[in-house]
Amino acid sequence: MKQRSALDMYSDGAAWWETAISDIKKNEIIIRGYPIEELIGNVSYTQMLYLLLCGEVLSEKKAKLWESVLVAGADHGPRAPSIAAARMAATCGISFNSCVATGINVLGDVHGGAVEKAMHLFYSTGSLLDAHPEKGLSSIVAEQFERFKNRGEKLPGFGHQLHDDDPRVRRLYELAQSLIDEGEIEGKYLKIAEEYRLHLEQSKKKKITMNIDGVAAAIQCELSIPAEAAKGIFALSRGMGIVAHAFEELQNGALIKGPCPNRDDLVRYSGPAKRHFKK
């Protein structure tokens, strides 16, 4: 994307704000060409999100599948840093929306970024397969897998520190497979994801499971969602759990709950020994 200063663009005749998303006038709201009153009551939350983001209305079946991805990622308890941060913030007396924002702001490349990374991987693999169909999926995945291995990078979307049979993954696969059988989605990226899982399993010589990030990435690729939007979409998903946990903690009435209890074995000082300042 070519970047220019806003002032330069405005000087060249562009509007200060230009958008293809919404057109707002007195007593009229147009979203991607549709009057808002025609959308209200007729499209779901996920259909509206896809329309805003991608410009078209998803079929009801595809929208329901995407909604299932958002539901699956909604909460993973206080083990998740975003949830813990929101709950901790709620004990510090700040406004409720600030508690929610605290949790959302923890989401990034490390916590919450694996979906985007996996989507980039699956999309690029799909493009390579389209360009070189004679190589076959297994061969292309093997090449990409070796590149990750040689760089010492972790393959995004696989393995979990807690689950070895994540119920969210199983259910999303079932829902996605039903849409493949009905011809609603192709299944191309789910096959790519599974091929990476198999290569990783063979390399590690042990059972490897796909995690929620991997299956969420594959499904969103099936729906042609931009990879760059993945962290924002996950923030909407996990935001539900953040709101609920922050509200629950607010009701508990606990004050100043830090990241861990006041125990010497949990916080260890590693600096210089005690010394005195000499004037």
End-to-end Cα distance, the chain: 57
Report the alpha-carbon distance of residue 263 to residue 248 in Å, rounded.
Answer: 25
List every span in the chain annotated with CATH 1.10.230.10.
59-258
For residue 244, what pLDDT is reported? 98
- Which pair of structure tokens corresponds to residue 18? 């230009």
The confidence score (pLDDT) of residue 165 equals 74
Residue 36: its pLDDT value, please? Answer: 98
Give the DSSP H/E element, type plus range, for residue 23.
strand 22-25
Averages of pLDDT over runs of 10 residues in the chain (279 residues) are 77 86 98 98 98 98 98 94 96 96 95 95 97 96 91 85 81 97 97 95 89 96 98 97 97 87 86 94
Q: Does domain 59-258 have CATH number 1.10.230.10?
A: yes
Can you tell me which residue has the tokens 């293809």? Answer: 20
Strands 34-35 and 22-25: unpaired
| Cα torsion through 169, 172, 174, 180, rounded to 10 | -130
| Residue 218 identity (one-letter amino acid) | A
User: What pLDDT does 1 receive?
Assistant: 61
Q: Residue 218's pLDDT is what?
A: 98
Exposure string of 228-251, with b = 16+ CB inside 10 Å and e = fewer, is: ebbbebbbebbbebbbebbeebbe
Plot region of 226 (φ>0 → left; ψ -120 to 50 → alpha; else → beta): beta
